[in-house]
Structure 1
Amino acid sequence: MSRYRVQVQALPAQTFTAQLGVNTLTIEMQWAVRLQVFQVNIRAASGALLTAGRYLLPGVDLLAGLYPPSKVNYGSLTLEGAQPTPDNLGKDNFLVWSDE
């Protein structure tokens, strides 16, 4: 079992590439002011959109229930800690990837 933190910054918008096991994913986070939540888009290395508009909430696996179901096992990507805001993202909480 592998498990590690994915580095994020306390910013209202960011795009970064993360090596998650054998897969490289591009993660886009955008703060939705009216909703007071981050919305997340995730793309495979090929550029294929895996998920769009998911809310970044504690305990929610951003890679669960991809549709159409992927033949690739991307593992799980979950936020642990406090409800994220542009000020506390990556400080009071963190993204954790696991291959389980």
Structure 2
Amino acid sequence: MRLKYGSVRTYSTLCQREFASKKEAIRAEELTLLEKDGQIIDLEFQILFGLCEKPKITITIDFSYWQDGKVTYEDSKGVLTRDTRTKLAWLHEKYGTEVILS
């Protein structure tokens, strides 16, 4: 099934889960292999951050992991919308969190 902006949900047998796009699934598999190799630790998927209580506004970041003693957040984006840019700026302002876009 095609989603917004033409992405196709993709199942990863390595990660044993479905992802919103092929690009996200490929990156998840890369990170999973890095974790198995010991280059990163504590890989997590779909991290939810609250940005505002009323109205309830959230942003979900695709991946987080620890590397070189610090946490890294990554999000797979095919199309960077104005809404996403705004939420990422808000996330940085509220939590000081930088997100790598891949």
Shared fold, TM over 0.5: no
Greater gyration radius:
2
> Higher helix share goes to which structure?
2
TM-score by length of 2: 0.29
Greater RCO, 1 or 2 (C-alpha within 8 Å, sep 6+): 1
Query: Normalising by structure 1, what TM-score?
Result: 0.30
The structure that is strand-richer by fraction is 1
